[in-house]
């Protein structure tokens, strides 16, 4: 590998893919490179390779690369994820549809609630129950699982979300179900709620697990192609994916739970605005991000 010269960041938006890279010359001067190229759906990784070439940055000379993307939020907004099946606690099949019962426009009698990301016929139940302290009230019954998975497979399900009541207090039932799914159907993507958030409120955990499952195959394929494309061009540095909390995580971790990068693109702008405010001594900063798909 060539000696690393650059620290770089790329961002994939709905219309353009952007690059910022910098390196310090031997005389101590800082050189900043910026470039912009067209985003290339559905092969978004090509836009990243294109913008690096346009900026004259050789991947083999990058030591650190942070990558932000709106691929996940756009897949959710445009409903371009995969077909998901949900497995939940007996009696809680409709939690996803009931939600919180909120009406954004309270006096609008014509308001129609958005359709859930998993239709009712793809929501299955298993007997088993934890209380809110994590004590087992009813043992988990996995006997119906093979039939459930057979139905999911016949309906073209590509990802499964698992969310059981009070799994934030005890993950045993979710973990056992995931292990059995992996044994019976190792090819399918599986996300459990305890992997994402260990907090109470069943609708929020269920919906977050479903949304992560909905985009997991799409995100995993995208990140894998991006990593392979960079490596094939000599990149040997560290590739990190921007998270919604303004931090970064590895490709492997983000591929398993892609919902963590749902606000990957906007959070980068927010963090940049905050850093700008610190540098100029301005505590009040308004950051607005307008992309090709969402604002």
Q: Which of 169, 194, 214 is the last residue of a domain?
A: 214
The C-alpha angle 124, 177, 204, rounded to 5 degrees, equals 60
Note whether 112 and 144 are same-domain residues. Answer: yes
Judged against a pLDDT cut of 60, whether residue 257 lies above it is answered with yes
Phi and psi of 269, rounded to 5°?
Answer: -65, -40
- β-pairing verdict for 159-163 and 189-192: parallel
Note whether 210 and 232 are same-domain residues. Answer: no
Confidence of residue 113 (pLDDT cuts 50, 70, 90): confident
Q: Is residue 285 part of a domain?
A: no
Whole-number pLDDT of residue 110: 87
Give the chain's domain count: 2
Whole-number pLDDT of residue 144: 98
Note whether 70 and 174 are same-domain residues. Answer: no
Q: Side-chain half-sphere of 100: how many Cα atoms within 13 Å? A: 7
Note whether 240 and 203 are same-domain residues. Answer: no
Q: Is residue 96 part of a domain?
A: yes
> d(Cα 116, Cα 12) in Å, to the nearest integer?
27
Please give the residue that has the higher pLDDT: either 125 or 102: 125
String of DSSP letters for 222-248: HHHHHHHHHHHTT--SEEEEE-TTS-E
Q: Is residue 43 part of a domain?
A: yes
> d(Cα 167, Cα 194) in Å, to the nearest integer?
6
- Identify the CA nearest to 133 among candidates 86, 55, 200, 230: 200
For the chain, percent of residues with pLDDT exceeding 70: 99
- What CATH number does residue 229 fall under? 3.30.420.40
Note whether 207 and 103 are same-domain residues. Answer: yes
Note whether 121 and 193 are same-domain residues. Answer: yes
Cβ neighbours of 83 (radius 10 Å)? 17
Tokens 């009712």 sit at which residue? 120
Note whether 135 and 58 are same-domain residues. Answer: no
Question: Could you read off the pLDDT of 130-179 as tens digits, one per residue?
Answer: 999 999 999 999 999 999 999 999 999 999 999 999 999 999 999 999 99
Q: Which of 214, 229, 256 is the last residue of a domain?
A: 214
Please compute the mean of the pLDDT values over residues 178-182 and round it to a whole number.
97
Provide the token pair at 154: 């016949």
**Could you tell me which residues are beta bridge partners of residue 85?**
160
Q: Is residue 258 part of a domain?
A: yes
Cβ neighbours of 284 (radius 10 Å)? 5
Q: Is residue 177 part of a domain?
A: yes
> What's the N-to-C CA distance of the chain in angstroms?
40
Q: Is residue 290 part of a domain?
A: no
Q: Which of 214, 240, 270 is the last residue of a domain?
A: 214
Whole-number pLDDT of residue 1: 45
Q: Is residue 238 part of a domain?
A: yes
DSSP 264: H
Confidence of residue 2 (pLDDT cuts 50, 70, 90): low
Please give the residue that has the higher pLDDT: either 120 or 269: 120
Mean pLDDT (the chain, rounded) = 92
Note whether 160 and 116 are same-domain residues. Answer: yes
Note whether 65 and 11 are same-domain residues. Answer: yes
> d(Cα 26, Cα 289) in Å, to the nearest integer?
36
Whole-number pLDDT of residue 3: 63
CA distances from 88 to 84, 128, 200 (A): 13, 9, 15
Note whether 49 and 108 are same-domain residues. Answer: no
Lowest mean pLDDT among 56-65, 108-117, 224-233: 108-117
- Domain of 243? 6-75+220-280
Q: Is residue 80 part of a domain?
A: no
> d(Cα 276, Cα 38) in Å, to the nearest integer?
27
Going along 39-130, which residue ranges are E strands? 62-69, 84-89, 123-126, 129-130
């Amino acid at each position: 590998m060539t000696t690393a010269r650059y620290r770089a960041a790329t961002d994939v938006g709905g219309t353009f893919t952007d690059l910022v890279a910098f390196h310090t010359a031997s005389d101590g001067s800082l050189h900043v490179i910026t470039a912009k190229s067209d985003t290339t759906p559905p092969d978004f990784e090509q836009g990243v390779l294109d913008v690096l070439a346009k900026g004259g940055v050789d991947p083999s000379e990058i030591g650190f690369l942070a990558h932000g993307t709106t691929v996940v939020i756009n897949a959710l907004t445009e409903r371009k994820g995969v077909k998901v099946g949900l497995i939940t606690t007996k009696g809680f099949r409709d939690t996803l549809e009931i939600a919180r019962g909120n009406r954004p426009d309270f006096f609008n009698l014509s308001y129609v609630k958005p359709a859930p990301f998993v239709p009712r016929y793809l929501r299955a139940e298993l007997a088993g129950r934890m209380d809110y302290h994590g004590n087992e009230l009813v043992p988990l019954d996995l006997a119906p699982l093979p039939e459930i998975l057979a139905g999911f497979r016949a309906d073209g399900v590509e990802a499964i979300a698992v969310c059981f009541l009070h799994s934030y207090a005890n993950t045993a039932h979710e973990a056992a179900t995931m292990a059995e799914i992996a044994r019976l159907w190792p090819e399918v993507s599986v996300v459990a709620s305890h992997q994402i958030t260990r907090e109470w409120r069943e609708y929020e955990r269920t919906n977050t697990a479903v949304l992560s499952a909905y985009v997991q195959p799409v995100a995993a394929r995208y990140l894998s192609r991006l990593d392979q494309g960079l490596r094939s061009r000599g990149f040997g540095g560290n590739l990190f994916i921007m998270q919604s909390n303004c931090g970064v995580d590895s490709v492997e971790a983000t591929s398993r739970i892609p919902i963590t990068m749902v606000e990957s693109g906007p959070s980068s702008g927010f963090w940049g605005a905050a850093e700008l405010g610190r540098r100029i001594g301005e505590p009040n900063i308004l950051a607005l991000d307008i992309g090709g798909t969402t604002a």
